[in-house]
Amino acid sequence: MVEGGGISTHLVRLHVRSLQKPIALASISVVAHDGHDHDIQMPLDYVKYPYQAVYPGDNEVTADSIFSGITTFAKLPWVQCLGKDKTTPFDVAFIGAPFDTGTSYRPGARFGPAGIRAGSRRLTLYGGYNVPLEVNPFRSGLKIVDCGDIPVTPYDNKYAIKQIEDGHKELLHRPTFSPLGNDSLTGKPLVPVSIDGKHHPRVITLGGDHTIVLPLLRSIYSAYGAISVIHFDSHLDTWKPSVFGGAPSDQAAINHGTYFYWASQEGLIANGSSIHGAIRTTLSGPADYANDDASGFQRIEAREIDTIGTDGIIKKIRETVGDLPVYLSIDIDSIDPAFAPATGTPETGGWSTRELRTILRGLDGLHIVSADIVEVAPAYDTNAELTTMAAADVLYEVLSVMAKTPLGKLEGLNSAQTSSRCSPRSTVQSPTREEHVLTLLLRLVTWIVLRALILEIKTFGSLLTYDRTETSRSFELARSQADFHM
């Protein structure tokens, strides 16, 4: 980021792949803009650190630090994207969807957006640099804003669901603040991965119960068509309405356990390249899995972490979605209630916050077009804000991954080819040709050295046989004497 700079520049960082370290190639599209925009573009300009009192005399009306002032996500600037700031462009927008009238057990996720914002206050306390991902999303040049909440009625689910779709769509189709940039290897301009040919900003939605994903996917479809979904949840959420006691009305059939079933019926989900993670729910019967298959999902059970670990889980996810554009939906109940108790339908036996964060970082390089976190119901949280803090930290990883990967591909190439050329890659991928040749060479050299050593040992061994026997005997003698004296 260049403050006050007059010319747009592209800074690209390559992390050269090492044979020892798992993280491979990464590219960051960092774009700087004219200085007059920097005060609204740079979140950290907005943040005043603790004890740096800014009044009087600094044109500020109040002291502002991470623990004071109006709470937005990570203390990002508040932009009234659906109100008076309708024309303000951005690259990533946080937006709340305070809807919880589709829950089957504990209500309360309507307070999720406010709770997650409270849990996110200290994200920029030390500046916000993500050590494992080697990026500071808040200083990546992207314009990241908090758009507040979509107005959602608590009295009419059908109307509320339409409000969420319209609100999301309005943000998704706003022009971006930053250009897409160039391919880090060829220098050629990237083109959007959308089906309408436009470069769309990314929207991170703060739920709300999981029902909101149906209107969110309807919005996503308008830009990307049927989308691959990565879904972290203890529950399938592809259930038929009959599992929830049938559907006394069309509206009752749409709830936080059935929205993926309906999304699949509407053709919003790319069949076969979508996957659940952290599944551990009980079922109405094995038919639920058959129905889940038909809805287009692969599954990773929560318990698989004990056998294949986070690396194995990352590998499964990456193999399933490939380099297709992907929508990421995170139910906070994918995390164990020990770490995130404040949720609508808690299930024990889940992943730790650390494990989910590691898995999310493993998505580095994927084209995540938008994301959400849902089912945070702060009323059930501890006084230590465990759940809202976990939700905020999880989104920080998502934001970091987004900041590293432009939503673009090279013209004429499919997204798979493009991604291997220009996008950051993570822990799991096949070696390049050069690495393959190097590995073969290393094996050959190792084999020659070992052969030589074995020959040496054989030669000396035959010469020393007599001495070694003698040595062995005297050692036995010494030990028996020592035993005798003890």
Task: Compute the least distance from the CB of residue 207 to Mn ion, in Å.
Answer: 9
Q: Which is nearer to Mn ion, 200 or 235 (CB)?
A: 235
Q: Does 64 bind Mn ion (CB under 5 A)?
A: no
Q: Which is nearer to Mn ion, 91 or 237 (CB)?
A: 237
Q: Does 280 bind Mn ion (CB under 5 A)?
A: no
Q: Does 316 bind Mn ion (CB under 5 A)?
A: no
Residues contacting residue 73 through CB under 8 Å, at least 6 positions apart = 94, 116, 117, 120, 146, 206, 392, 395
Q: Which is nearer to Mn ion, 211 or 273 (CB)?
A: 211
Q: Does 292 bind Mn ion (CB under 5 A)?
A: no
Task: Compute the least distance from the CB of residue 329 to Mn ion, in Å.
Answer: 8
| 314, 23 contact by CB (below 8 A) | no
Question: What one-letter code names the amino acid at 51?
Answer: Y
Tokens of 460: 């000396």
Task: Compute the least distance from the CB of residue 344 to Mn ion, in Å.
Answer: 8
Segment 194-223, which members bind Mn ion (CB under 5 A)? Answer: 210
Q: Which is nearer to Mn ion, 237 or 336 (CB)?
A: 237
Q: Does 347 bind Mn ion (CB under 5 A)?
A: no
Tokens of 107: 């209500």
Q: Does 233 bind Mn ion (CB under 5 A)?
A: yes
Q: Which is nearer to Mn ion, 331 or 347 (CB)?
A: 331
Q: Does 397 bind Mn ion (CB under 5 A)?
A: no
Q: Which is nearer to Mn ion, 332 or 389 (CB)?
A: 332
**Could you give phi then psi for residue 35, rounded to 5 degrees?**
-60, -30
Tokens of 126: 């030390």
Choose which of 323, 331, 336, 355 interacts with Mn ion (CB under 5 A). Answer: 331
Q: Does 240 bind Mn ion (CB under 5 A)?
A: no
Q: Does 237 bind Mn ion (CB under 5 A)?
A: yes
Strand partners, 190: 410
The alpha carbon dihedral of 245, 249, 252, 258 has a sign of positive
Task: Compute the least distance from the CB of residue 331 to Mn ion, in Å.
Answer: 4
Whether the bond between 208 and the residue before it is cis, its omega within 30 degrees of 0, is yes
How many H-runs (helices) and E-runs (strands) does the chain carry? Answer: 12, 12
- Own/partner pairs for 6-10, CB < 8 Å, 24+ apart? 6/34, 6/35, 7/32, 8/32, 8/33, 8/34, 8/179, 10/181, 10/182
Q: Which is nearer to Mn ion, 43 or 344 (CB)?
A: 344
Q: Does 183 bind Mn ion (CB under 5 A)?
A: no
Q: Footprint of Mn ion on this chain (CB under 5 A)?
A: 210, 233, 235, 237, 331
